[in-house]
């Protein structure tokens, strides 16, 4: 059989990271870049390509082999696997979910055992695979990878059921995304939030509720096309996440540079912790270019996302 290929986009959580696991909603999108996988007959070889990321060192971490084994099982010894990361791994941009889904798509084509685009089955298996690397997953990352190309995704866990809606946009939205450095791992950040829930349950509940309220308000801002309000909501959410210890000094520096370059708002995204990703909201493409240039000069990996 000739080689089979699978692709899945990375994701950007706009609002609700960490709080989504405690009943709050989340908002996010899929990015144009992601993870591409190729499978061909072989002897278990694994080749990984990483993107250029300025001055930031990159590592796939220990999870790639685990994910490949979880998806391919006994096929691991019969296939050679080539993985192309188009965005940096371990940055909070959902490369674990993207890799899992790209592998599942390529495997399904190889074995002809399931339709490669059976969305519900893809989501369920991707969640199972993600449990191996992140602990128990809310399902947000796979949902954004699978649905976020259609527009901003509203994600909510209600009574054990997943609610997913595409948010209509009233105007163009310009995001600039950057990676500061690899983060310490999603499970590490999740552990910090769980510790707060254990030691200060009332404060934890109030904090998660506030982050959820900001997510709900941000959904309305997107629907109304109110970008200054969306920027303020980003700043407020970032302040709370920083207070939880999820923002590194590198991310703080990049956010200051974005605001100095005219960003309407900026916040960390994803896991946070010792490094990770962030994004800024620009008023137009020219402002987006200025922010991207400022971040590139700082040695960050940068990409832009324009919606509508």
pTM for this model (two decimals): 0.92
pLDDT digits (tens, 9 = 90+) for 98-122: 999 999 999 999 999 766 566 888 8
Domain segments of the chain: what residues?
4-166, 173-307
Are residues 86 and 51 in contact, defined by beta-carbon separation less than 8 angstroms?
A: yes
Per-residue pLDDT for 19 more than 90? yes
Angle between helices 119-134 and 140-147 (to 10 degrees): 140
Query: What pLDDT is stored for residue 55 in this prediction?
Result: 44
Percent helix, strand, coil in the chain, to 5, is 45, 25, 30
Class of domain 173-307: alpha beta
Please state, rounded to an integer, the average pLDDT across all residues of the chain: 90
At 56, the pLDDT band (50, 70, 90 cuts) reads very low
- Which CA distances in Å does 54 have to 10, 49, 70, 216? 19, 15, 32, 35
4-166: in CATH 3.20.20.70: no
Do 48 and 23 form a contact (C-beta atoms < 8 A)? no
Average pLDDT score over residue span 252-268: 97
Q: What is the pLDDT of residues 279-291, one digit of tens each?
A: 999 999 999 999 9
Residue whose C-alpha is closest to residue 48's, from 90, 80, 15: 80
What confidence category does residue 91 fall into, taking pLDDT thresholds of 50, 70 and 90? confident
Q: Which residues pair with 164 in a beta bridge?
A: 155
Q: Is the pLDDT of residue 195 over 80?
A: yes
């Amino acid at each position: 059989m000739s080689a089979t290929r699978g692709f899945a986009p990375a994701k950007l959580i706009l609002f609700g990271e960490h709080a989504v696991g405690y009943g709050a909603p989340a908002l996010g999108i899929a990015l144009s870049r992601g993870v591409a996988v190729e499978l061909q007959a072989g002897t278990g070889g694994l080749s990984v390509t990483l993107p250029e990321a300025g001055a930031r060192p990159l590592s796939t971490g220990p999870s790639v082999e685990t994910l490949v084994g979880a998806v391919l099982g006994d096929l691991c010894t019969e296939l050679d696997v080539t993985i192309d990361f188009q965005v940096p791994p371990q940055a909070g941009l959902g490369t674990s979910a993207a890799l899992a889904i790209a592998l599942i798509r390529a495997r399904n084509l190889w074995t002809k055992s399931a339709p490669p685009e059976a969305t519900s089955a893809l989501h369920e298996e991707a969640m199972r695979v993600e449990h191996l690397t992140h602990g128990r997953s809310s399902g947000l990352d796979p949902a954004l990878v699978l649905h976020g190309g259609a527009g901003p995704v509203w994600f909510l866990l209600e009574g054990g059921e997943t609610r997913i809606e595409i948010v209509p946009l009233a105007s163009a939205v310009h995001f600039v995304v950057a990676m500061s450095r690899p983060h310490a791992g999603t499970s590490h950040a999740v552990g910090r939030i769980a510790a707060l829930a254990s030691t200060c349950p009332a404060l934890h509940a109030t904090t998660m509720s506030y982050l959820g309220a900001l997510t709900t308000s941000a959904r309305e801002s997107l629907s109304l096309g109110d970008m200054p309000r969306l920027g303020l909501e980003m700043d407020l959410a970032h302040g709370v996440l920083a207070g939880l210890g999820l923002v590194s000094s590198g991310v703080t520096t990049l956010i200051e540079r974005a605001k100095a370059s005219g960003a309407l708002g900026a916040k960390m995204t994803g896991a946070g912790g010792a490094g990770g990703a962030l994004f800024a909201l620009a008023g137009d493409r020219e402002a987006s270019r200025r922010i991207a240039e400022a971040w590139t000069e700082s040695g960050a990996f940068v990409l832009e996302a324009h919606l509508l």
